[in-house]
Structure 1
């Protein structure tokens, strides 16, 4: 019985750890774009002001995340 419980806990733990990864990271509306970040860039900014603050003093600018701009819109119910 004890072995079964331990096996179940290990299996559940492996499933949780396997599900988290860089692909699951949240992407926001604004992207820092420049030579160092490429395209679409570093899309970790909720507001343009946050992005511009990060771009300040760098050879970079801010643009709208193309995944957000061209995402399928929800229909109102």
Structure 2
């Protein structure tokens, strides 16, 4: 199993704020894409908590 960089996962970043709640609108694959949507509003962008607080899969990391 290969690891996929967060920037390529469709729902890596969430548009958050009063209107969006928590975790918010998590349809963004990049921080820049999320910030472009948030521009001009009182919203902000954050890492999708599903990925930010996920435990690494066992065996995914091999120490050499």
TM-score, scaled to structure 1: 0.60
Question: Can you give the 5+ residue segments of structure 2 that lack an aligned partner in the other structure?
Answer: 1-8
If you compute each CA radius of gyration, which structure gives the higher value, 1 or 2?
Answer: 1
RMSD of aligned residue pairs (Cα, Å): 1.8
The reply on whether 1:45 has 2:25 as its aligned counterpart is no
Structure 2 CA distance, aligned partners of 1:72 and 1:27?
Answer: 19
The reply on whether 1:59 has 2:37 as its aligned counterpart is no
Structure 1 CA distance, aligned partners of 2:21 and 2:43?
Answer: 10
Runs of 4+ in 1 over 2 A off after TM superposition: none
TM-score, scaled to structure 2: 0.71
- Point out which structure has higher relative CO (alpha carbons under 8 A, 6+ apart): 2
Question: Can you give the 5+ residue segments of structure 1 that lack an aligned partner in the other structure?
Answer: 1-25
Cα offset, 1:72, TM superposition: 2.4
Q: Which has the higher helix share?
A: 1
